[in-house]
Homo-oligomer: A and B are copies of this chain.
Amino acid sequence: MKKDKVITIVGLGVVGGSYAIALSKKGYTVYGVNRSSQSIDDAIACGAIKDGGNTPEKFFPLSDVIIIALYPNQIVNYLEQYGKYIKNGCLISDVAGIKSHFVDEINKLVPEGCEFLFCHPMAGREKRGFKYADDKVLQGANFLIVSTPNTTQSAIDRMSEIVTDIGFGRIRITDVATHDKVIAYTSQLPHAIAVALINSDDENSDTASYIGDSYRDLTRIANINEDLWSELFLGNKDNLISTITCFETQLAIIKQALIDNDAQTLKSAFIKSSDRRLALEKKKIDKK
C-alpha cells in the first residue's frame, strides 16, 4: 500500500508527461496541470492522468505529492501564485537541471507543514511536448536529490520510494553547490560542445555522406530546446564557463601535439581517455 497515492504533475511536457505515464502504470492516482488543454486531453486519452486542468486549484488540495515539471525560471512564480492551494503534509518537488539560482527563494515560499525536495531526474529527450513523453527514458536513469539545510530524511525517503517504483536507477543525494558544478560538466558542457560542433560545419560540404557513429552520437543533442537551455546555461553560467575553460585546455593539448607531430602526447591523451571511459563503464553508467 503506497503512502503517497495522489500525485499532481504540473507541466505535461516530455519530462512531466513521462512521469505521469510511469506513475499511472504503477497505480498512482495522477492529475495533470498544463497551460495548453491539448496535452491534458492527450494525457487523459492515453491513461497517463486521471484528470487535469489548466490551473491547479482543484488538484493541489487532493495531492500527497506535487511535481512541478516547469522550466526552472517558472517555479518560483508558480509557487507564489498557487502555493496556497497545497494541502498540509504535501511533498513538493521539481525536475530542474540547475538549483543554486532558486533554492533560497523557493524554501521561503513553501507552505507551512509542507516540504520542497529539490530533484533532478537525469532523463529527458531533445523533443518537446507530451507527445514525446515516454516512461522508457526514466528506466535505469540516474536520479539526483539536492539537499538544503531544510531537507528532511522523511522527504528523501518518500521521494526515493516513488522514483524507485517508476524505474529510476541510482539515487544520489548531493548539495546545491556540488550539483550545479558537476552538472555543468556532465550536462551543459556536452550540449555546448554538440552545438559548437554542428555549427562549425562547412555548409558547402555534403556532410551527410561522411557521417559515422561518432558524428551521429556527438550531434544528437545539438537539436536543443533554445528556451530551456538558454535558461539552464545562464542560470549556471559561472560553473559552465569554468568547465568550458577546462575542456578548452584539454583540446588545446591535442591541437598542440598535432602541430608538434607529437605522437606520444596524443597516445597518452587517448590512453587516459580510454581508461576513464572504461572506469565509468565499470560503474554501469550505460543504461540497458
Contacts and interface: CB of A to CB of B under 8 A. Distances in A.
Contact of A210 (B186, B206, B207): B186
A198 to B, nearest CB: 5
A217 interface: yes
Copies per complex of this chain: 2
B199 A212 contact: no
Interface string A60-98: 000000000000000000000000000000000000000
Give the size range of A's interface with the partner.
Answer: 35 or more
A181 B263 CA distance: 20
A208 interface: yes
B285 A226 contact: no
Contacts of A229: 266, 270
Contacts of A109: none
A172 interface: yes
Interface of A: 122-124, 141-142, 144, 170, 172, 174, 178-179, 181-183, 185-187, 189-202, 205-227, 229-230, 233-234, 237, 240-241, 243-251, 253-255, 258-259, 261, 263, 266-267, 269-274, 276-278, 280-281, 283, 285-287
6 contacts: A142-B211, A178-B205, A182-B210, A186-B207, A192-B254, A200-B249
Given A144-B210, A199-B269, 15 more contacts: A124-B213, A142-B209, A142-B210, A174-B209, A192-B254, A193-B197, A194-B218, A195-B250, A196-B269, A199-B273, A223-B273, A223-B278, A230-B266, A241-B258, A248-B251
